[in-house]
Structure 1
């Protein structure tokens, strides 16, 4: 099976020349369909730059990034925007919800950009909110919800269009311990259902929820533990 993600010799260099900074320095890895991966590193390690590359929010200085078999390394801004909209569900630390919209309207918004018909948008959004336990909060605005509930809305928004990749950037960073556990439980459930989940974090405890942990330091992969065996991963996802 072809990996969902293939990164080959990825470089990201800022200030090329004498004072250059190699935020990513010759990074190569594969991430398979249905993996749950944590990418962990401290501030300045390169993990945020790597997240931007995987999320098609930035392009590398050199190297290649294949997503679903397509080389997205040198696409235009419009093409990258299309990839983000179709292929990636984002969950951010800051929730990124629109304050004057209800939970349901926030979840519907990306589907509008995908030209999903109104009735289908409503159905998909309601189903996503029910999956994260917010069936009674659909008409509430972000200011009427707790931090944990707002993050659930963000997860529902990421799920609604059923993207092949869920990219969670410090999803528990602004939450208390109880809400953090609830959010991680949801991410683990998504993984067991066969979703590919990539978790960006600086927290070792949070990273332990993943099946595979990739540590980044000084723009390089320092370690890669728990790499999934394709056959066992298929079995875990019910593809025997």
Structure 2
């Protein structure tokens, strides 16, 4: 029987409470089990970015509960949320978010520093992670010396170096050409095959079709939640 990694109960996020309030999330309930590959899809303004911020412990709900690995993170302080993000979640963003003056291996090491991992082990983890995404030959290259696809692979290596249980990918192919997009999606599927829980946030139906489960969000509510038999 599958174990729940994420359990959201009756979650609301309301901006400008009162007469002009905006219900970005409107009583959302959702369970995602360990080892799933899930796409959350919605158009601009649907609430998917707000949901991603909740899943990534980047924001707290107005009401409701969010259990991550059995802990109700909806009630935690900023410092506690920061610790959860560092230990439990690997982030991959559309904009790569690499530090320009650091090499690939140094960029991957950054979150490991915050975890208190020693220099030698940190370097070993970073190199192994870059090798997993096919960049073992680019360790000392800076972002400006790499293509967009290579930069996103560095970002993936950074996200997986500490082996977090959850990979949260927000429009991970949004800035890439079609060939690079296919490479990135293939790597994410390999991460899933190795046992990671991967959540893709996207507005693109073709990207969502790669997942085994597709959750459509509209007007702050879950519109549909279906198993995708064609998911790779």
The question of a shared fold, defined as TM-score above 0.5 by the shorter chain, is answered with yes
Output the TM-score relative to the length of structure 1: 0.94
CA–CA distance in structure 2, aligned partners of residues 105 and 163 of structure 1: 19
Alpha-carbon deviations, 1:108-166, whole Å to 9, x = none?
Answer: 01000000011100100000000000011010000000000000000000000000000
Give, in whole Å, the separation in 2 of the partners of 1:227 and 1:47: 19
Q: 5 Å matches for 1:36-75?
A: 36-75=37-76
Q: Structure 1: give runs of 5+ residues left out of the alignment.
A: 229-240
Question: Aligned with 2:187: secondary structure?
Answer: helix
Q: Which residue of 2 aligns with 1:147?
A: 148
Distance 2:169 2:108 in 1: 16
TM-superposed deviation, 1:74: 1.6
2:130 counterpart of 1:129: yes
Question: What is the distance in 2 between the residues matched to 1:18 and 1:118?
Answer: 53
Counterpart-to-counterpart distance in 1, 2:14 and 2:111? 32
Q: 1:227 Cα shift?
A: 7.9
Q: TM-score with structure 2 length normalisation?
A: 0.97
Query: Partner of 2:31 in structure 1?
Result: 30
**How many angstroms apart in 1 are the aligned matches of 2:190 and 2:163?**
15
Match of 1:111 in 2: 112
Q: Does 1:3 align with 2:8?
A: no
User: Contact 1:39 / 1:198 at 8 angstroms: preserved in 2?
Assistant: yes
- Aligned residues between the structures: 228
- Alpha-carbon separation, structure 2, partners of 1:2 and 1:209: 22
Task: Give the whole-Å Cα distance in 1 for the aligned partners of 2:195 and 2:57.
Answer: 22
| Distance (Å, rounded) in 1 between the aligned partners of 2:22 and 2:114 | 36
The residue correspondences of 1:1-240 to structure 2 (distance < 5 A) are: 1-226=2-227
Secondary structure of 1:111's match? helix
SS of the residue 1:4 aligns to: strand
Q: Secondary structure at the match of 1:174?
A: coil
Cα deviation digits, residues 8-54 of structure 1 (max 9, x gap): 00000001011110000000010000000000000000000000000
Paired residue secondary structure (1:23): strand
Are the aligned partners of 1:2 and 1:69 in contact in 2 as well (CA < 8 Å)?
no
Instruction: Write the deviation string for residues 169-228 of structure 1: whole angstroms up to 9, x where unpaired.
Output: 000000000000000000111111111000000000000110000000000000000189
* Residue aligning to 1:234: none
Residue deviations 1:75-120 (CA, integer Å, cap 9, x gap): 1110000000000000000000000000000000100000001110
Unaligned runs of 5+ in 2: none
What secondary structure is seen at the aligned counterpart in 2 of 1:216?
Answer: strand
